[in-house]
Structure 1
Amino acid sequence: MPVAECGRPASPLIVVLSGPGGAGKGTIARMLVEADGSLRLSRSWTSRERRADDPDDAYVFVDRAAFEVRRADDGFIEWNLFLGCYYGTPVPDPADDRVLLLEIDVAGGRQVLDRHADALCVFVDAPSDAELYRRLVGRGDGADRAA
């Protein structure tokens, strides 16, 4: 049954997939959106450099100044600074009533719950620390960042 058909509040439901980088949040999010048209994946903003293997729609890539302007205008429902780069989820378009699916870290999930107590949070983790390390290094995060 599509998420939209489950009894839910009148305002768009927010579903948060939260966990460490490399845990599999992105894979799960893509599979859910492909399977259920009532879901839309929020596209986060970041000031980090694009990786060679980043899909075109992975993030909205901006410089620090553009991110800071949007942050100052309260344009994010959550944001953080990680390894010197900003990441944030833009405030959703109120005209779009699809379920909003967020793929964010644990700190971001907490921020969303602070602002939207009715959000549904799901924690995603890798099966082991060794597997998480392998995934992070495999995607190009570098052994120093993955440790």
Structure 2
Amino acid sequence: MERLETTADVRRRMSRQKSRDTGVEVALRKLLHAAGLRYRVHRRPVKGVRREADIVFGPARVAVFVDGCFWHGCPEHATWPRNNADFWRAKIEGNRSRDADTDARLAAAGWLAVRIWEHEDPVAAADRVKATVAARRVVRGTPENCLPGGD
């Protein structure tokens, strides 16, 4: 596979892309916090697994990932660049593969990965996360884990 050089403009634009604390991620966190949920931010849920979740609910064992449409190959909004196409396809497909591997590793350790696309409505995404955390708290079991702010 021949790799073409990227232009200085493309390199500069891509290097400015935020990988954490994006607008969507911050909006989601604010909604979850306002709902009484407490969480950790940008943590590795499982020791020994070098994958960092955007939002982590420890006792419920829920790890939330806010995925960018371009970088993670959103089925609705993904675009495939024409310049350096082979490089970008491999990069995005590699991200998809790593996401699937992350989900499997977390599941093997008793965690549930929740994937939120950047284009999703933050209110709907927060509702989905709240329902997931509540269900996991009930399943995992103690009454104090069922209260808001128990994480």
Q: Which has the higher contact order (CA 8 A, sep 6+)?
A: 1
Q: Same fold (TM over 0.5)?
A: no
Normalized per residue, which structure has more strand? 1
Normalized per residue, which structure has more helix? 2
Give TM-score, length-normalised by structure 1: 0.29
